[in-house]
Homo-oligomer: A and B are copies of this chain.
Amino acid sequence: MKILFFAGSLRTGSLNKKFALEAKRLVDAKSGYETEFLDLKDYPMPVYDQDIQDKGFPEAVIKLGEKIAGIDALVVSTPEYNGSIPSVLKNVIDWLSREKRVSIGDKPLLLISASMGALGGVRGLWQTRVPFEACGVHVFPTMMGLPAAHNAFDEKGELKEEKLKQQLQKLLDHFLKHIAK
């Protein structure tokens, strides 16, 4: 079973890239999964504009769409921007939804979020579900917000607090068990 991990953030050193990588590490420790981490910075796209689409889809849209088409499940760690989905992630969804050769519909998706605040980005996660679900993605009902994320990781990028690591592990186990059905 192939699982793709990425973050809804472009910034070098993004806390959500770290959180996605930690989730990947926990899945790698189990057997039976082929995992891959992808950086959206390697898939540069302009802001969606139908005038651009009419001249041809940006190469990154097709590459990313093919990548997603080939996997069995997605884990996305996304920041909250203004109480909602970050523009980079919404932009990826808007482009992919127009490219009929690939489809993200019917894929299972686990959403998590890292944030410097106390709420862990949970509010934004609920808004982030909507466009994915509108595309037919099965967003796992349980999600996880990591608060105070700027202090959460050690130098290897692993979660320092055992309790939070176990929470993520438990959520991943629940998700993997569900998609195995």
Q: Could you tell me which A residues sit within 8 Å of B by CB distance? A: 10-12, 41, 45-51, 81-88, 90-91, 93-94, 97, 105-106, 118-119, 122-123, 126-127, 129-142, 147, 178, 181
Bound complex: CA A68 to CA B137 (Å)? 25
**Interface core residue of A85, A87, A105, A147 (most chain B CB under 10 Å):** A87
A86 and B94 contact, Cβ closer than 8 Å, known pairs A47-B45, A127-B127, A141-B138 = yes
Bound complex: CA A92 to CA B128 (Å)? 17
A88 and B48 contact, Cβ closer than 8 Å, known pairs A93-B82, A141-B133 = yes
A51 and B10 contact, Cβ closer than 8 Å, known pairs A84-B85, A133-B141, A138-B141 = yes
Known interface pairs A11-B49, A118-B118, A137-B141; 13 further A-B residue pairs with C-beta atoms within 8 A, sorted by A's residue number: A10-B47, A11-B50, A11-B51, A47-B91, A81-B131, A83-B130, A83-B131, A83-B134, A84-B130, A87-B91, A123-B123, A132-B141, A181-B181
B84 with A87: CB separation less than 8 A: no
Bound complex: CA A90 to CA B85 (Å)? 8
A90 with B87: CB separation less than 8 A: yes
User: Which chain B residues border A123 with CB–CB below 8 Å?
Assistant: 122-123, 126
**Interface core residue of A45, A81, A181 (most chain B CB under 10 Å):** A81
User: Which chain B residues border A138 with CB–CB below 8 Å?
Assistant: 138, 140-141, 178
Q: What is the CB-to-nearest-CB distance from A69 to chain B, in angstroms, rounded to a whole number?
A: 17
A84 with B88: CB separation less than 8 A: no
> Which of B45, B47, B86, B147 has a CB less than 8 Å from the CB of A88?
B47
User: Which chain B residues border A90 with CB–CB below 8 Å?
Assistant: 81, 84-87, 90-91
User: Which chain B residues border A41 with CB–CB below 8 Å?
Assistant: 49
